[in-house]
């Protein structure tokens, strides 16, 4: 009989790192508006880190649960997609409704198209939003050309769903060798993008605010942005999946060979594990924060310096941080803190964009002569409000809705045990 997903122990440090990355995204978006702009620092690379985490967790949670000859009661395609919908979509719906609620408060001289939009157009755009279908330009009620007018961050959820579909339909059937070859191919695409290669003759159309040598973008339907979004997804997600399989195999191998290992090797491994067990979250979170907070490194004369840095982060540093997080453990107060960070990460990511549109972009446009003290005060208020809304959406909406959906699923299984 298939085990419940809750029966698998969680990687507490990875939960905590997801929360650290979400908070850095929140800070980055404030710097984007009030600081040097979209290239203020590398907070946008948190998206690529999220994709690696997602691939790792999907592989860990589902790889050994599929229905097969050896596991006739395992999970079906329908069961997989149902679980992913239950996990991702309740908060996505909340984020869209919250974005709709905050929509008109974001109007003004900064975003004049908001006040010029009519309700029929808004409602049609909203239907596109809750289904994650990219909105056609004629229904773009914000005027920024994004795939979603009410919650800009949701573009990553669209790619997340696409990655899950690819995994369930095709990639899960691949062995480690074929998956490794795919990951190498996706790594080559990542390197090419970071070095500014003009793939298919469309990357030269990137807007000025997304300079060569950055992985900024992926949130609209222009060809260069669609390609950039796919490149940002493919290597991280499937590298994370490959890592989960390698670690699973290494656990089995280490169990089999533990008695044959030498005393010196055992002591070395013990020291390494002790360090990760005692300080794993601190080490991994400091490493992640350090690489994401590095300022933009490019210049007009040498724009690709930054690209090389981002390639190194995506291909090597982020997987190494995930490895550290997966090998370490936490306990006591650190365990509780990591759990809180993990719980708050997705709600914070999907709800803070409407708040920034309202409190920051709209306020800035209507207060062009604001002093630095006023800007700092507005940013602090925005960050605090974002954390409060995220926690409230988790406790008052996401957890109750997901628990209710799981209870309904269990009732259906009780009535029809073959329906998994």
Confidence band of 42 (pLDDT split at 50, 70, 90)? very high
How confident is the model at residue 53, as a pLDDT? 97
What tens digit of pLDDT does each residue of 101-142 get? 887 666 555 566 777 788 888 899 999 999 999 988 888 888
Confidence band of 313 (pLDDT split at 50, 70, 90)? very high
Q: What is the pTM of this model?
A: 0.90
* Residue located via tokens 């453990």: 329
Least confident of 47-51, 79-83, 162-166, 273-277: 273-277
Q: Say yes or no to pLDDT of 233 above 90.
A: yes
Average pLDDT over residues 278-296: 93
Confidence band of 259 (pLDDT split at 50, 70, 90)? very low
Q: Say yes or no to pLDDT of 316 above 90.
A: yes
Phi, psi of 143 (to 5 degrees): 90, 15
Q: Say yes or no to pLDDT of 262 above 70.
A: no
Whole-Å CA distances, 335 to 56, 61, 233 = 20, 20, 29
Mean pLDDT of the chain: 86
How confident is the model at residue 65, as a pLDDT? 93
What tens digit of pLDDT does each residue of 54-96 get? 999 999 999 999 988 888 889 999 999 999 999 999 999 999 9
Average pLDDT over residues 230-249: 95
What tens digit of pLDDT does each residue of 134-184 get? 988 888 888 777 888 888 899 999 999 999 999 999 999 999 999 999 999
Average pLDDT over residues 185-205: 85
How confident is the model at residue 142, as a pLDDT? 80
Average pLDDT over residues 266-286: 71
Q: Say yes or no to pLDDT of 287 above 90.
A: yes
Q: Which residue has the higher pLDDT, 255 or 281?
A: 281
């Amino acid at each position: 009989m298939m085990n419940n997903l809750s029966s698998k122990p969680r990687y507490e440090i990875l939960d905590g790192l997801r929360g650290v990355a979400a908070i850095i995204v929140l800070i980055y978006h404030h710097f984007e508006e009030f600081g040097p702009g979209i290239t203020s620092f590398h907070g946008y690379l948190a998206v690529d880190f999220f994709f690696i985490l997602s691939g790792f967790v999907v592989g860990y949670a589902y790889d050994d649960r599929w229905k097969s000859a050896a596991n006739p009661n395992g999970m079906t395609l329908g069961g997989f997609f149902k679980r992913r919908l239950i996990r991702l979509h309740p908060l996505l719906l909340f984020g869209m409704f919250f974005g709709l609620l905050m929509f008109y408060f974001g109007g003004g001289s900064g975003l004049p198209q908001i006040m010029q939009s009519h309700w029929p157009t808004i409602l049609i755009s909203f239907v596109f939003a809750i289904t994650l279908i990219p909105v056609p330009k004629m229904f773009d009620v914000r005027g920024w050309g994004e795939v979603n007018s009410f919650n800009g961050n949701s573009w990553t959820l669209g790619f997340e769903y696409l990655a899950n579909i690819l995994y369930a339909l095709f990639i899960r059937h691949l062995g480690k060798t074929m998956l490794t070859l795919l990951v190498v191919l996706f790594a080559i695409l990542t390197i090419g993008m970071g070095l500014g290669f003009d793939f298919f003759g469309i990357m030269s159309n990137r807007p000025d605010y997304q300079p060569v040598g950055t992985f900024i973008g992926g949130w609209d339907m222009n060809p260069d942005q669609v390609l950039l979004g796919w490149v940002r997804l493919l290597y991280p997600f499937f590298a994370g999946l490959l890592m989960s399989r390698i670690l699973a195999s290494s656990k089995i191998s280490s169990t089999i060979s533990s008695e044959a290992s030498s005393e010196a090797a055992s002591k070395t491994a013990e020291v390494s594990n002790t360090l990760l067990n005692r300080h794993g979250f601190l080490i991994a979170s400091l490493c992640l924060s350090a690489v994401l907070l590095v300022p933009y490194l490019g210049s007009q004369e040498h724009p690709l310096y930054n690209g090389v840095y981002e390639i190194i982060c995506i291909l090597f540093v982020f997987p190494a941080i995930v490895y550290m997080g997966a090998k370490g453990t936490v306990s006591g107060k650190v365990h509780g803190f990591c759990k809180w960070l993990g719980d708050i990460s997705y709600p914070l990511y999907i709800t803070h964009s409407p708040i920034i549109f309202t409190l920051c972009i709209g306020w800035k446009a209507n207060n062009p002569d604001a002093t630095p003290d006023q800007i700092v005060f507005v940013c602090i208020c925005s960050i605090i409000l974002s954390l409060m809304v995220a926690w409230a959406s988790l406790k008052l909406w996401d957890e109750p809705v997901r628990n209710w959906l799981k209870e309904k699923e269990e009732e259906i299984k009780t009535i029809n045990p073959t329906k998994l």
